[in-house]
Amino acid sequence: MTAPATLDSLIAAETARPQDPALDALVAALRRRFGGSVVAILYYGSCLRRGTLEGVVDVYVLVDTYRAAYGRSWLAFANALLPPNVFFLGFGDGHRAKAAVMSVRQFAAGCAPAAWLPSIWARFCQPTALLHARDEAARLAVNRMLATAVATAAAAGAALAPSRDDPLDLWRAVFAASYRSELRVEDASRAAQIVAADAERYAALTPLALAAPSTHSPFPWGLRRVLGKSVNLLRLLKAAFTFAGGTDYLAWKIERHTGVRADLTPWQRHHPLLALPRLAWRLWRQGVI
């Protein structure tokens, strides 16, 4: 007799699905870069949903500690203060990836209902693949965090869309709300597209997620929007200092998610901190922040 599905078992099966072998080169590059600090590497986002490596592959690298990942570099302090640190790298046959580095402890906190901002649980309640786990204990722990993210998102969505006529409504509601708490211009249709791309998955997860022990955080969404956009802007600014080409990444990210084209002068590329007030003013005038 087949055991009934549980939230944990569905997540474990999802994260274990085989992925494009070309991603092995990305895993190898990240493990070389961050050494024995790497606990797990998670693959998520549009490339995973579309089943292609065309574009920019999104991964999260979970590490034991930032000191272990960076040594005594100031990058460790920046990562702890305002996680994650983000890096671009190439791999395989001309593919590109955006790797976000976060400690296991901070990632677990971001999946939990007590998290002030939805940036982690709203991302990782969506389809995710586990490209690498250091050992079986790490695999089990990460899958449990992802299940927690799903339960957290479902509880938040149920509070936003209490009607159960369509179980997918809560996912549409929570994704739309989470988008509004970031530097994005996606409207409700984008949230609907995300859900429609994996409708059967969300339908299967809904009853299990709602039955899981999770308490919706009473933190107001209005305050989340203010804090979320401010934190996003600070993260973009930090990215200008944490890797080569960071100011160009900042401009690309702002244009991608807000529609605001930030043409940077050579002076701004060398002085991103001094250029921030003017950029923030433009974003504010256009209603982004």
Helices marked H in the chain — which ranges?
7-15, 23-34, 46-50, 66-70, 74-81, 104-111, 119-124, 136-160, 169-180, 188-197, 199-211, 221-242, 246-258, 266-270, 272-285
d(CA 99, CA 165): 39
Report the pLDDT value the prediction gives residue 106, as an integer from 0 to 100: 98
Is residue 14 predicted with pLDDT exceeding 60?
Answer: yes
Tokens 């003013």 found at: 281
Report the pLDDT value the prediction gives residue 112, as an integer from 0 to 100: 94
Report domain extents, the chain: 7-220, 222-285
Report the pLDDT value the prediction gives residue 229, as an integer from 0 to 100: 84
Report the pLDDT value the prediction gives residue 181, as an integer from 0 to 100: 87
d(CA 177, CA 267): 37
Query: Judging by DSSP bridges, how do beta strands 38-44 and 129-133 pair with one another?
Result: antiparallel
d(CA 1, CA 14): 21
d(CA 172, CA 196): 9
Q: Which region among 12-16, 208-212, 249-253 has the lowest average model confidence (pLDDT)?
A: 249-253
Report the pLDDT value the prediction gives residue 83, as an integer from 0 to 100: 93
Sign, CA dihedral 196-24-79-216, equals positive
Report the pLDDT value the prediction gives residue 242, as an integer from 0 to 100: 63
Q: What band does 263 get if pLDDT is binned at 50, 70 and 90?
A: low
- Name the pTM for this structure: 0.85
Report the pLDDT value the prediction gives residue 272, as an integer from 0 to 100: 60
Report the pLDDT value the prediction gives residue 288, as an integer from 0 to 100: 54
Report the pLDDT value the prediction gives residue 148, as an integer from 0 to 100: 96
193-249 per-position pLDDT tens digit: 999 999 999 999 999 999 987 666 677 888 888 888 888 878 877 776 665 555 566
3-state secondary structure of 62: strand
Reported as half-sphere exposure (CB side, CA atoms, 13 A), residue 175 has a value of: 22
DSSP 36: G
Tokens 């939230």 found at: 7
Q: What band does 252 get if pLDDT is binned at 50, 70 and 90?
A: low
Report the pLDDT value the prediction gives residue 240, as an integer from 0 to 100: 65
Report the pLDDT value the prediction gives residue 34, as an integer from 0 to 100: 96
d(CA 149, CA 104): 14
Q: Which fold has domain 7-220?
A: Beta Polymerase; domain 2 (3.30.460)
Report the pLDDT value the prediction gives residue 245, as an integer from 0 to 100: 55
∠ CA 125-131-137, nearest 5°, is 80
Which pair of tokens denotes residue 81?
Answer: 């203060």
Percent of the chain with pLDDT over 70: 78
d(CA 75, CA 87): 12
Is residue 61 predicted with pLDDT exceeding 70?
Answer: yes
pLDDT (mean) for 159-175: 88
Is residue 256 predicted with pLDDT exceeding 70?
Answer: no
